[in-house]
Amino acid sequence: MSTDSFTDSSSQPQKRPTVLLCIGMAGSGKTTFMQRLNAHLHSVKKPPYVLNLDPAVTQLPFTANIDIRDTVNYKEVMKQYNLGPNGGILTSLNLFTTKFDQVLEFISKRAPTLEHIIVDTPGQIEIFTWSASGAIITDAMAATYPCVVAYVIDTPRTTSPATFMSNMLYACSILYKTKLPFILVFNKTDVVSHEFAVRWMTDFETFQQALQKDSSYMSSLMNSMCLVVGVSAITGAGMDEFFKAVDEAVKEYETALNKAERQEDKKQAQLTRLMKDMDVSDSSSRAGNINNVYPSTI
């Protein structure tokens, strides 16, 4: 753990820097986003305090003030505890958490001179968001400083309605798990603009149209998830609307089932033709082999 020089803040008024917890799926560009945050804050003469909590990262494109790799050797943890990659990351994070009070002390010494603390988390998102150690780190930071979650999304991979819905559901789960202010960061807009996502989030009809254009089975599931009714179990209000939604869901189910059956029949027909072709080829090959072993004397 690096312990760079700290300024004496005893004579300075106490300030509360903002903590940015950067969370994102592997491949979302989270670490590159961290690099951009760091570079931007340096460019405006407001250098941040940087924490790296990913023990498995091989090379960081930025300098971390506190780096988990200085305290815990990820590969040695895997060997010592006979763990796989994910288990190694989780155990490394658990070990580091036992020392997190020291991290908070280092940050507190620098806090009066800081405006931002940016935190890079493991690419295996569930290891941080759903582990006890991740919760301890998040709660400890949020108990002392204003804390914001930046959820980084791979925009090009989210253009499918089904993938978009999956990302939104995961974002909601993290939001309710952390109970912190939440920012959706649609990354890689240089490749694909995020305007489609904004339209889908603000215009339900537009998202429905996108779902209808998607002919996959997943789109049928998404349509079913988008059926919304309001009911009162006490007064019975909304029951008619509920059963109308049930009828619509049954229609979607039958449509999806019929489509799946047609696709299965098509696959079986193709498989049958393939087996016949292979049988003919094998018969010809066997005949050739027999002629080679027992050449004709005629």
d(CA 154, CA 4) in angstroms, rounded, equals 34
Residue 170 dihedral angles phi and psi, to the nearest 5°: -65, -40
Share of the chain above pLDDT 70, in %: 76
| pLDDT for residue 12 | 47
Mean pLDDT across 203-228: 63
Mean pLDDT across 226-238: 65
The listed range with the strongest mean pLDDT (74-83, 226-235, 286-295) is: 74-83
Please state which of the ranges 3-12, 19-28, 204-213 shows the lowest mean pLDDT: 3-12
pLDDT top residue among 294 and 194 = 194
Is it the case that residue 70 has pLDDT exceeding 90?
yes
d(CA 287, CA 295) in angstroms, rounded, equals 11
Full-model pTM: 0.69
Is it the case that residue 3 has pLDDT exceeding 50?
no
Is it the case that residue 283 has pLDDT exceeding 60?
no
**Cα-only R_g, the chain:** 28
| pLDDT for residue 231 | 55
Mean pLDDT across 222-246: 65
Please state which of the ranges 6-10, 18-22, 45-49, 157-161 shows the lowest mean pLDDT: 6-10
Is it the case that residue 79 has pLDDT exceeding 90?
yes
Is it the case that residue 249 has pLDDT exceeding 90?
no
Q: Give the distance from CA 270 to its chain's centroid.
A: 37
| pLDDT for residue 87 | 92
Is it the case that residue 176 has pLDDT exceeding 50?
yes
Is it the case that residue 255 has pLDDT exceeding 80?
no
Is it the case that residue 91 has pLDDT exceeding 90?
yes
Is it the case that residue 215 has pLDDT exceeding 70?
no
pLDDT top residue among 290 and 208 = 208
The listed range with the strongest mean pLDDT (113-117, 226-230, 243-247, 289-293) is: 113-117
User: Angle CA(62)–CA(64)–CA(66) in degrees, nearest 5?
Assistant: 170
Strands (E), the chain: 18-24, 49-52, 66-67, 116-120, 147-154, 182-187
pLDDT top residue among 260 and 239 = 239
Is it the case that residue 272 has pLDDT exceeding 90?
no
Mean pLDDT across 269-283: 68
pLDDT top residue among 192 and 223 = 192
Confidence of residue 121 (pLDDT cuts 50, 70, 90): very high
Work out the mean pLDDT of the chain and round it to a whole number.
80
Confidence of residue 4 (pLDDT cuts 50, 70, 90): very low
Q: At what angle do helices 132-144 and 85-97 cross, to 10 degrees?
A: 40
Would you give the end-to-end CA distance of the chain in angstroms? 87
Mean pLDDT across 165-170: 86
